Amino acid sequence: MGELFDVTLNTDDVPLSRAELVAAMNDCDVLVPTVTDRIDADMIEQAGEHLRLIANFGAGTEHIALDAAAARKMIVTNTPGVFTDDTADIALAGIIGVPRRVREGVQLIRSGEWTGWTPTALLGSKLAGKVLGIVGMGRIGQAVAHRAQAFGLQIAYHNRKQLPEAIERMLSATYIEKLDDLLAAADIVTLHCPATKQTRGMIDARRIGLMKPGASLINTARGDLLDQDALVQALESGHLTGAGLDVYPQEPLVDERLIRHPNVMTLPHIGSATREGREESGVKVIANIRMWADGHRPPDQVLTGLN
């Protein structure tokens, strides 16, 4: 970017403050935010007249007030597809690790209290034959299903629209129209949908109550999708055997009750944390900016600037 444009960079991993972001938006033609940069309507209203493109680094755009950007005729782009495999891999870590109590095993070794193999130590659940319920069957959900087949899991999914029959056959996936029915049928539930007005808090106490006793819940999508208090209660009561979490509703804060639970894998939002994925996302950002600067439609346009 520095070779192509006149660039001001945030060169460390500390997010800009709201005031610093507003100042940047008053002084640039293009803003490149990440998922931690909350660009709300008031900030967009305060932006300078020269800001015409928000080229997001990442696929999700729920942290950007799209309606406000549209009202200011700004173009918004993202970088879809680049983190699909990376996020699916992290989801599989939870899908495998929670039923097999991997976190407990690691803690036992590190505590120095392991006394050796015994017939009943850390008994978990085998994966083969269990039902994996996938909520959201886009790119990442399908990548998870593809991987899960190799472990003998039965794939069931809920999505806004049913997938074409050919894709269902390829993934050996069964469509379940109602989310409640999917939750009741699955031994492991994994979330792969965006955070929207419709999906925020969708996995609440009532729906967690529908899940099988001893089931596990994996979330590598967005922390806002589930009611964290309801999840903790289900874990502490033993209704759920464990959880695998890479995202949280108030990051970087993580509920101490989740950290203390012996069978909750708490990861620090590393679903996209590969060198290859981050570089590819950067390449997409630059391609979007170059196409816009040359007067063409950016390839990954979310908002046209004409909405």
| The pLDDT of residue 307 is above 70 | no
Q: How far apart are CA 47 and CA 136, in angstroms?
A: 34
Catalytic residue among 269, 278, 280, 290: 269
Question: Looking at residue 19, what is its pLDDT?
Answer: 95
Question: Looking at residue 306, what is its pLDDT?
Answer: 54
Question: Looking at residue 290, what is its pLDDT?
Answer: 97
Residues 51 and 181 placed together within one structural domain of the fold: no
Q: What percent of the chain has pLDDT over 90?
A: 94
Higher pLDDT pick, 2 / 307: 2
What is the β-pairing status of strands 154-158 and 173-175? parallel
| SS3 call for 124 | coil
Q: In sequence order, what are the residues at sequence separation of 6 or more whose Cβ sits closer than 8 angstroms to the Cβ of residue 86?
A: 271, 272, 273, 274, 276, 277
Enter the tokens of residue 302. Answer: 């979310």
251 given a catalytic annotation: yes
Please check whether residue 235 lies inside any domain of the structure: yes
Question: Looking at residue 304, what is its pLDDT?
Answer: 64
Chain position carrying tokens 């970087």: 252
Q: Which residues pair with 54 in a beta bridge?
A: 31, 76
Q: How many domains would you assign to the chain?
A: 2
Q: How far apart are CA 235 and CA 245, in angstroms?
A: 13
Q: How far apart are CA 51 and CA 24, in angstroms?
A: 10
Q: For residue 294, name the pLDDT band (cuts at 50, 70, 90).
A: very high
222 given a catalytic annotation: yes
Give the domain extent around 42: 18-81+274-304
Residues 190 and 131 placed together within one structural domain of the fold: yes
Q: How far is CA 63 from CA 27, 37, 188, in A?
A: 21, 7, 29
Residues 59 and 205 placed together within one structural domain of the fold: no
Enter the tokens of residue 222. Answer: 């967005």
Residues 230 and 258 placed together within one structural domain of the fold: yes
Q: What is the CATH number of the domain that holds 157?
A: 3.40.50.720
Q: Are 72 and 93 in contact (CB under 8 A)?
A: no
Please check whether residue 11 lies inside any domain of the structure: no
Question: Looking at residue 182, what is its pLDDT?
Answer: 98
**What average pLDDT does the structure give for the chain?**
95
CA 158 to chain CA mean position, Å: 17
Question: Looking at residue 13, what is its pLDDT?
Answer: 83
> pLDDT tens, 296-305?
999 999 976 5
Catalytic residue among 251, 260, 276, 279: 251
From the list 299, 237, 235, the residue with the least C-alpha distance to 262 is 235
From the list 158, 90, 100, 159, the residue with the least C-alpha distance to 128 is 100
> pLDDT tens, 195-225?
888 999 999 999 999 999 999 999 999 999 9
> pLDDT tens, 77-109?
999 999 999 999 999 999 999 999 999 999 999
Residues 175 and 164 placed together within one structural domain of the fold: yes
Please check whether residue 110 lies inside any domain of the structure: yes
| The pLDDT of residue 289 is above 60 | yes
Catalytic residue among 192, 207, 222, 261: 222
Please check whether residue 77 lies inside any domain of the structure: yes
Higher pLDDT pick, 305 / 123: 123
62 given a catalytic annotation: no
What is the β-pairing status of strands 131-135 and 75-77? unpaired
| SS3 call for 191 | strand
pTM for this entry: 0.92
Q: How far apart are CA 127 and CA 157, in angstroms?
A: 17
Q: How far is CA 271 from CA 82, 220, 268, in A?
A: 11, 7, 9
CA 131 to chain CA mean position, Å: 21
The alpha helices in the chain, defined as continuous H runs, are 18-25, 41-46, 66-71, 84-97, 102-111, 139-149, 165-171, 179-185, 205-210, 228-237, 256-260, 275-293
Residues 30 and 126 placed together within one structural domain of the fold: no
Question: Looking at residue 138, what is its pLDDT?
Answer: 96
> pLDDT tens, 48-79?
999 999 999 999 899 999 999 999 999 999 99
Residues 130 and 61 placed together within one structural domain of the fold: no
Q: How many CB atoms lie within 10 A of CB 14?
A: 8
Residues 225 and 281 placed together within one structural domain of the fold: no
> pLDDT tens, 157-169?
999 999 999 999 9
Strand ranges of the sheet holding 173-175, from the earlier edge strand across to the other edge: 173-175, 154-158, 131-135, 188-191, 215-219, 240-245, 264-266
Question: Looking at residue 149, what is its pLDDT?
Answer: 97
Please check whether residue 12 lies inside any domain of the structure: no
Residues 121 and 142 placed together within one structural domain of the fold: yes
Q: How large is the average pLDDT for residues 269-273?
A: 96
Express the helix, strand and coil content of the chain in percent, nearest 5 each.
Answer: 35, 15, 50
Q: How far apart are CA 196 and CA 189, in angstroms?
A: 19
Residues 110 and 223 placed together within one structural domain of the fold: yes
